[in-house]
Amino acid sequence: MSDVGSETNPLRVAIVGAGPAGFYTAERLFKEKNSHITVDMYDRLPTPFGLVRNGVAPDHQKIKSVTKVFDRLANKPQFRFFGNVELGTDITVEDLRQHYHQIVYTTGAQTDRSLDIPGIDLKNSHPATEFVAWYNGHPDFRDYEFDLSQESVAVIGIGNVAVDVARILCRTREELMETDIADYALEQLSQSNVKEVYMLGRRGPAQAAFTPPEAKELGELKGADTIVLPEEAELDPLSQASLADADRGTMRNIEIIKELSERELTGKPKQLTIRFLVSPTELIGNDAGEVVAMKLVKNELYQTESGTMRPRPTENFEEIPVGLVFRSIGYRGVPIPDVPFHERWGVILNEKGRVLNAVSNEPVLGEYTAGWIKRGPSGVIGTNKPDAAETAECMLADLAAGKVLSPAHPELDAATKLVQEKKPNYVSYEDWLKLNELETAAGEAQGRPRIKFTKVVDMLAALGKQ
């Protein structure tokens, strides 16, 4: 047999996870002119695009247009999609090792970081990741229940996910109608009783994790006045002193927060209050085990030896009445059976995208990773492009050095047969394009970008694949 990467023996790559990191890895591999490379992309859902479909806020449609780039990649003859096929359930890593020269894990960060305070497990206290997946119509979360009859909601954290959650809670029905939010979420949010939303930052305005466009948008909500307490918009002396080294984003955030703190209330139906230098210390429940209030401690900042500003509690406590709590303090990766995992960091053990053996710390032959499961849950969609390129370049270097797996069945047809046997109702990219057409046509009829399928059975039925 000729060398791997030749026309007659192309490099066979399996990418597991059809989000941006997976597509950007394929994009970089397809740019390689000297080797023949074919990619099979797997996803546990019938739909591609990962967090672009199930995480990006539905009122941020422009961000979702990145899928056009992914469509163009998927249109290449060297690319195939096997949706509705779950690694660990339908197929195993060993199956992939028998069919591909290289395997790339781009499964993202599928759960949330935990917050260890008393009462966190009370009824009506949820990870924001679940709420986000629910309103975006993720099939695994569509039946979750969130008590939107509550008037007062707290969102813990002030990253961009917290901003998304707070904004969606404050949107009017008319605003939501312009989005592709799941139809059940549109109905429930339109009828919600929510009047007061708090976003809680444990540090100050100069350390806010949200980005300026997202912060600015919070001040432009049709149905909610956005409030910052003037005393919390003021920088503490340590933050003030650090401004000389601050980047443009931080300076802009500070300006936006100051401007919000100077606003008068205009009598909009909802109020969104962004708090700084406060940490929840306890959720207080009633006899039915439901959250009724949150205890907060006022923080002060101190500087670590590395120069980072950290929060520490003072003696000042307060209590705010809240009936619904979302903790939005970061996503976390989930281990894949048979793949080395760094428990504390919540990522696949890797160096520049090469998966490492947990004992020897040496690269595992033929296995790679990219995206949030490689580096942790940080950055915007575009951040995955250089990240995936780094991984793809390691893959190409290893190909050049002859360091690839020797699968027993590298032929294209062998992988098709494997999937047909293990998951006969898998979904191809062509199938997805049909679903996409049905969704956008249903949306058009209601003047919305799309109406999503939110049940796998409905997707399969629409494709005649039950």
Coil, helix or strand at residue 253: helix
DSSP strand E in 306-391: where? 309-321, 324-327, 331-332, 341-342, 347-348, 350-351, 354-356, 363-369
Binding segment toward ligand NAP, per CB under 6 A, in 85-93, 153-161, 184-192, 293-301: 153-161
* Contact with ligand NAP (CB under 6 A) among 108, 159, 323, 340: 159
Q: Is 169 in the site for ligand NAP (CB under 6 A)?
A: no
Which strands make up the sheet holding 152-156, listed edge to edge? 125-127, 324-327, 152-156, 196-200, 270-275, 224-228
Tokens for 188?
A: 């429930």
Q: Is the dihedral of CA 124, 128, 134, 136 positive or negative?
A: positive
Q: Is 333 in the site for ligand NAP (CB under 6 A)?
A: no
Distances (CA, A) of 111 to 21, 23, 377: 17, 21, 10
Please list every residue from 393 through 412 that binds ligand NAP, using CB under 6 A: none
Distances (CA, A) of 85 to 55, 137, 227: 20, 19, 46
Question: CB-wise, 167 or 452, nearer to ligand NAP?
Answer: 167
* Contact with ligand NAP (CB under 6 A) among 96, 161, 182, 297: 161
Please list every residue from 336 through 375 that binds ligand NAP, using CB under 6 A: none
Q: Is 322 in the site for ligand NAP (CB under 6 A)?
A: no
Question: CB-wise, 161 or 176, nearer to ligand NAP?
Answer: 161
Q: Using CB positions, name the residue nearest to ligand NAP.
A: 159
Q: Is 21 in the site for ligand NAP (CB under 6 A)?
A: no
Distances (CA, A) of 330 to 116, 147, 327, 352, 378: 14, 22, 9, 22, 9
* Contact with ligand NAP (CB under 6 A) among 158, 168, 186, 277: 158
Tokens 């705010």, residue located: 320
* Contact with ligand NAP (CB under 6 A) among 229, 380, 400, 457: 380
Distances (CA, A) of 30 to 97, 198, 395, 445: 21, 46, 12, 38
The CA-to-CA distance between both ends of the chain, in Å, stands at 40
* Contact with ligand NAP (CB under 6 A) among 106, 207, 242, 454: 207
| String marking each residue 424-463 x if it binds ligand NAP according to CB under 6 A | ----------------------------------------
Distances (CA, A) of 135 to 105, 125, 140, 189: 26, 16, 12, 9
Q: Is 114 in the site for ligand NAP (CB under 6 A)?
A: no
Binding segment toward ligand NAP, per CB under 6 A, in 3-11, 167-175, 317-325, 378-386: 378-386
Q: Is 377 in the site for ligand NAP (CB under 6 A)?
A: yes
> Is 402 exposed, middle or buried (CB count within 10 Å of its CB: 0-12, 13-18, 19+)?
exposed
Q: Is 162 in the site for ligand NAP (CB under 6 A)?
A: yes
Please list every residue from 276 through 305 that binds ligand NAP, using CB under 6 A: 279
Q: Is 156 in the site for ligand NAP (CB under 6 A)?
A: yes
* Residues 151, 322: Cα–Cα separation, whole Å: 8
CB of 459 to ligand NAP, least distance (A): 25
Q: Is 329 in the site for ligand NAP (CB under 6 A)?
A: yes
Which chain residues interact with ligand NAP by CB under 6 A? 115, 156-162, 164, 201-203, 207, 209, 214, 279, 328-331, 377-380
